[in-house]
Amino acid sequence: MSETFTKSMARNIFYGGSVFFFLLFLALTFASHQDFPSRDNHEALTETVAKGKRVWETHDCIGCHTLLGEGAYFAPELGNVYKRFGNSTEAIKAFIKSRPVDGVPGRRSMPQFNLSDEELEQVAQFLKYASGIKTANNWPPNIKG
Amino acid sequence: MKYKSQSVAKLYFIAAIALFVGQILFGLVMGLQYVVGDFLFPEIPFNVARMVHTNLLIVWLLFGFMGSAYYLVPEEAERELVAPWLAKLMFWIFLIAGAATVAGYLLVPYAKLAELTMDDLLPTMGREFLEQPTITKLGIVVVALSFLFSIGITILKGRKTVVTLVLLIGLTGLAVFFLFAFYNPENLVLDKYYWWWVVHLWVEGVWELILGAILAFILIKTTGVDREVIEKWLYVIIAMTLITGLIGTGHHYYWIGTPDFWQWWGSIFSAMEPIPFFMMTIFAFNMVNRRRRNHPNKAAVLWALGTAVMAFLGAGVWGFLHTLSPVNYYTHGTQITAAHGHMAFYGAYVMIVLAMVSYAMPMMRGRKAANSPRSQVVEMWSFWLMTVSMVFITLFLTGAGILQTYLQRYSDQPIDFMTVQDKISLFYWLREIAGVVFLIGLVLYVVSFFIGTDDPEAVEKIEVDAETA
């Protein structure tokens, strides 16, 4: 690097640039918060849904599935599973309930979590709520997730 | 080794390597489960194997960063470490907490672990990479604070250099942003938004400062290039890292219920994120070309150059591949992400830790500067085996990802996720084979510590060009 460009100039770019762009990041975060209520489907966020999120978390569903594209890539996307299953929480519950304890020979299979009826309803309602979040361009591109 | 207290790093490095081996074994289990779906089912379901794989990675890299800091800070500050006993104590606390957490993942169902550790009091579990029980997370905070204390006071009391300053800023950022792991709102959009403040601001933010500082230290030591030059480069690189990387967080805010303006901010800034990595490559090669000495530890120099190249490829090139929002619309959450993740973590963080281990370990084991030539040859073989196999893992996952994106998202007749997975299984098999080669490389790496230990150490070759000319 050229001699006229000194170390203290480099240092100033680092401090100045970092502070400026961190503040800009905070400003964009503030702007995001103004927009969240119009897309985050908070109207549907009932106590059942909140409990469903806990069921989702305590069984580490994200360790195989993606939710809005984030998570592991071993099992299908669930952000739109409610729609894929014909807008039916019953279908979601039936699927989770029907998983064989010992899996399927040679194939991937979701574990049998032995959820109670209450927990099944909660996690299904959580997935229904997630499907109501307004993602940009209605991501995912199609119903397959 | 100039200061006695530097030797605490040895414990950290040994633990790091041991956990690295564990991480790779579980990686192979997962890779096999991709094609033989019922492998180890239901004893070790995929999500458990994945938690172990990713959490071991994070923990061993943290061990590596801490060990690196304990080694380089006394030398830079020109004084003994403050409270080396604290460093040893925290080592055991961290190791035991980490081992207990992994044992918990493997021995009881995750829901049971959440119940046993009373996750309902402060629910933080069950989110990707942050699966640790809340109590473990609190332990991590205690360890991080004690670590920052001993490193920070040592730096403040001693000589202050740009390397230690940047390292300290990076490590402080690491501790601060981890606190967002405790924020887990019921609102899924908010949850995801701030989850990235841990994950992105770590790996595409403050961790890069740590990487830069360690790389600068190794280059100062092995090339003998004037510190002023290296420090100037370091400032420019980390400036570019944060200038691009902070707003670059926006490339995670495309499809999670966040506003549309992130499509622009995220695309433009994250498209510039390769710049600091490219500069790092130029920097490393420039310094080695302008070296004033031929350091006898050739393996360490190889790792240092390797990390600069592979970080640029993995984080820079493979990141850019799917970072623009119109592209990411199709690739988001596919094997493309997995491909990028593997090479980026290996190139940027695994290799820098191994570079530091390679540089520091010989001195901590009683050598003057380097291992014997025989040991270095084995180590360099392990470098090539691991690096080349990681390139292939990345290429195979990229192939899988392109097909997956096309079949499931892009074509006129989109196909179900699981059907697509069957169709692309060939690539998963090839990835698993590359993974086995990686393991062989890793075994060789461990072996290199026990080979040629009684041989005389490699000596510095003096360049004779000037005399013969």
User: Do residues A32 and B256 lie in contact, with contact meaning Cβ atoms separated by under 8 Å?
Assistant: no
A28 plus A67 within the same structural domain = no
Do A14 and B235 count as a contact with CB atoms less than 8 A apart?
Answer: yes
Do A13 and B338 count as a contact with CB atoms less than 8 A apart?
Answer: no
User: In chain B, what percentage of residues exceed pLDDT 70?
Assistant: 99
Do A28 and B42 count as a contact with CB atoms less than 8 A apart?
Answer: no
The encoded tokens of residue B468 equal 């013969």
A78 plus A91 within the same structural domain = yes
**Least confident residue range of A139-143, B55-59, B226-230, B463-467:** B463-467
Domain for residue A145, yes or no? no
Residues B402-406, mean pLDDT to the nearest whole number = 98
A32 plus A45 within the same structural domain = no
Domain for residue A70, yes or no? yes
Domain for residue A143, yes or no? no
The encoded tokens of residue B234 equal 């370091």
A77 plus A18 within the same structural domain = no
| Residues of chain A positioned with their CB less than 8 A from the CB of B255 | 68-69, 135-137, 139-140
The string of pLDDT tens digits covering residues B421-446 is 999 999 999 999 999 999 999 999 99
The dihedral formed by the CA atoms of B204, B207, B213 and B217, expressed in degrees to the nearest 10: -110
Do B126 and A50 count as a contact with CB atoms less than 8 A apart?
Answer: no
pLDDT band at B465 (very low <50, low <70, confident <90, very high): low
* Closest CB from B119, B232, B421 relative to A1: B232
The string of pLDDT tens digits covering residues B270-310 is 999 999 999 999 999 999 999 999 999 999 999 999 999 99
| Residues of chain A positioned with their CB less than 8 A from the CB of B246 | 18, 21-22, 24-25
Domain for residue A28, yes or no? yes
Do A60 and B236 count as a contact with CB atoms less than 8 A apart?
Answer: no
Q: Which amino acid is at A83?
A: K
Query: What pLDDT does B463 receive?
Result: 60
Query: What pLDDT does B467 receive?
Result: 47
For chain B, what's the residue count?
469
What are the φ and ψ backbone dihedral angles of B225, each rounded to 5 degrees? -70, 145
Residues B72-85, mean pLDDT to the nearest whole number = 97
| Residues of chain B positioned with their CB less than 8 A from the CB of A13 | 235-236, 239
**Parallel, antiparallel, or unpaired: how do β-strands A66-67 and A70-71 relate?**
antiparallel
Domain for residue A144, yes or no? no
CA distance A55 to chain B (A): 8
For residue A140, is the peptide bond before it cis, meaning its omega torsion is within 30 degrees of 0?
yes
Query: What pLDDT does B464 receive?
Result: 52
User: Do residues B198 and B181 lie in contact, with contact meaning Cβ atoms separated by under 8 Å?
Assistant: yes
A70 interfaces chain B, CB cutoff of 8 Å: yes
Query: What pLDDT does B461 receive?
Result: 78
Q: Which residues pair with A77 in a beta bridge?
A: A66
B125 interfaces chain A, CB cutoff of 8 Å: yes
Residues A127-136, mean pLDDT to the nearest whole number = 98
Q: What is the DSSP letter of A66?
A: E
Query: What pLDDT does B377 receive?
Result: 98
Tell me how many domains chain A contains.
Answer: 2
Does the pLDDT at position B359 exceed 80?
A: yes
- B33: nearest Cα among A104, A23, A46: A104
Alpha helices in B179-260 (DSSP H): 188-201, 207-223, 227-248
Alpha helices in chain A (DSSP H): 7-35, 47-58, 81-84, 89-97, 117-131
A85 plus A60 within the same structural domain = yes
Identify the three-state secondary structure at position B405: helix
The string of pLDDT tens digits covering residues B125-179 is 999 999 999 999 999 999 999 999 999 999 999 999 999 999 999 999 999 999 9
pLDDT band at B1 (very low <50, low <70, confident <90, very high): confident
Would you say the C-alpha torsion B28, B34, B38, B42 has a positive or negative sign? positive
CA distance A66 to chain B (A): 7
Residues B9-32, mean pLDDT to the nearest whole number = 98
CB atoms within 10 A of CB B106: 14
Residues B64-93, mean pLDDT to the nearest whole number = 97
**Residue A20 contacts by C-beta under 8 Å, 6 or more apart in sequence?**
none
B187 interfaces chain A, CB cutoff of 8 Å: yes
Interface of A with B in 81-100 (CB under 8 A): none
Model-wide pTM > 0.95: yes
CA pair distance A124, A51, nearest whole angstrom:
11
CA distance A41 to chain B (A): 9
B436 interfaces chain A, CB cutoff of 8 Å: no
A108 interfaces chain B, CB cutoff of 8 Å: yes
**Residue B90 contacts by C-beta under 8 Å, 6 or more apart in sequence?**
B143, B146, B147
A80 plus A101 within the same structural domain = yes
- Reported as half-sphere exposure (CB side, CA atoms, 13 A), residue A96 has a value of 24
Domain limits at A26?
1-38
Domain for residue A132, yes or no? yes
Domain for residue A53, yes or no? yes
Residue B316, classified by CB atoms within 10 Å of its CB into exposed (0-12), middle (13-18) or buried (19+), is: buried
The string of pLDDT tens digits covering residues A51-104 is 999 999 999 999 999 999 999 999 999 999 999 999 999 999 999 999 999 999
A53 plus A90 within the same structural domain = yes
Identify the three-state secondary structure at position A85: coil
The string of pLDDT tens digits covering residues A21-61 is 999 999 999 999 999 999 999 999 999 999 999 999 999 99
Identify the three-state secondary structure at position A70: strand
Domain for residue A72, yes or no? yes
Distances (CA, A) of B137 to A15, B66, B123, B400: 30, 17, 11, 35
A56 plus A126 within the same structural domain = yes
A108 plus A78 within the same structural domain = yes
Query: Chain A: residue nearest B247 by CA?
Result: A25
B185 interfaces chain A, CB cutoff of 8 Å: no
Residue B253, classified by CB atoms within 10 Å of its CB into exposed (0-12), middle (13-18) or buried (19+), is: buried
Query: What pLDDT does A3 receive?
Result: 78
Interface of B with A in 206-265 (CB under 8 A): 228-229, 231-233, 235-236, 238-239, 242-243, 246-247, 249-250, 253-263, 265
What are the φ and ψ backbone dihedral angles of A73, each rounded to 5 degrees? -115, 30
A60 plus A33 within the same structural domain = no
CA pair distance B23, B411, nearest whole angstrom:
36
Work out how many CB contacts closer than 8 A connect A with B. 233
| Residues of chain B positioned with their CB less than 8 A from the CB of A2 | none
- Going through B107-163 in order, the beta strands assigned E by DSSP cover none
A55 plus A126 within the same structural domain = yes
DSSP B356-382: HHHHHHHHHTT-SS---HHHHHHHHHH
| Residues of chain A positioned with their CB less than 8 A from the CB of B162 | 7, 11
| Residues of chain B positioned with their CB less than 8 A from the CB of A145 | 408, 417
CA pair distance B213, B166, nearest whole angstrom:
6
Do B409 and A63 count as a contact with CB atoms less than 8 A apart?
Answer: no
- Residue B22 C-alpha from the chain's centroid: 15
Q: How large is the angle between the packed helices B274-289 and B227-248, nearest 10 degrees? A: 170
Do B333 and A69 count as a contact with CB atoms less than 8 A apart?
Answer: yes
User: In chain B, what percentage of residues exceed pLDDT 90?
Assistant: 98
Q: What is the DSSP letter of B292?
A: S
Which CATH number is A63's domain given? Answer: 1.10.760.10
Do A21 and B416 count as a contact with CB atoms less than 8 A apart?
Answer: no
Query: What pLDDT does B460 receive?
Result: 84
**Residue A1 contacts by C-beta under 8 Å, 6 or more apart in sequence?**
B229, B232, B233, B236
Query: What pLDDT does B468 receive?
Result: 47
For residue B373, is the peptide bond before it cis, meaning its omega torsion is within 30 degrees of 0?
no
The encoded tokens of residue A79 equal 């952000």
A23 plus A45 within the same structural domain = no
Do B126 and A60 count as a contact with CB atoms less than 8 A apart?
Answer: yes
**Residue B211 contacts by C-beta under 8 Å, 6 or more apart in sequence?**
B307, B311, B348, B349, B352
Does the pLDDT at position B466 exceed 60?
A: no
Residues B363-380, mean pLDDT to the nearest whole number = 97
Do B131 and A101 count as a contact with CB atoms less than 8 A apart?
Answer: no
